[in-house]
């Protein structure tokens, strides 16, 4: 009987652990991001998917942008003037580096020529 109880407990723990971990870690990650000072740098657009709409489903998808910054890919939280961007374009990014070295990409915008 105790073996069945341990098995049930293990299954419940495995099923609920991702939910618990997300609830515990999300505020800590957000606090780490907000406490880090905002820095400005330059990056290149690595992936650009323009905004599009599915007429049959009535859904609108905003533009998707990923930048290559210091050799890594990041998705900025806010992209200004996304319609003016294209792949391999140099952009100015606002980013933060947390206490443990994690990079948080806040903004990306085109650099005026």
pLDDT in tens, 20-40: 767 777 777 778 788 889 999
Domain that holds residue 16: 1-35
Same domain, 3 and 47: no
- Specify the residue for token string 């049930």: 8
Neighbouring C-alpha atoms within 13 Å toward the C-beta of 109: 8
Q: Are 53 and 113 in contact (CB under 8 A)?
A: no
CATH of the domain at 88: 2.40.50.140
| Window from 11-15, 39-43, 53-57 with minimum mean pLDDT | 11-15
Same domain, 31 and 48: no
Same domain, 73 and 50: yes
Total structural domains in the chain? Answer: 2
Whole-structure pTM value: 0.70
Burial of 65 (0-12, 13-18, 19+ CB in 10 A): buried
């Amino acid at each position: 009987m105790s073996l069945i109880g341990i098995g049930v407990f293990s299954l419940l723990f495995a099923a609920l652990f991702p939910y618990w971990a997300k609830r515990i870690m999300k505020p800590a990650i957000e606090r780490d991001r907000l406490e880090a000072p905002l820095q400005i740098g330059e990056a290149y657009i690595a992936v650009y998917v323009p905004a599009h709409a599915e007429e049959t489903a009535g859904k609108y998808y905003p533009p998707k942008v990923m930048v290559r910054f210091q050799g890594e890919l990041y998705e900025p939280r806010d992209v200004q003037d996304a319609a003016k961007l294209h792949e391999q374009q140099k952009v100015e990014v606002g980013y933060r580096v947390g206490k443990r070295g994690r990079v948080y990409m806040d903004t990306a915008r085109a650099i005026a020529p």
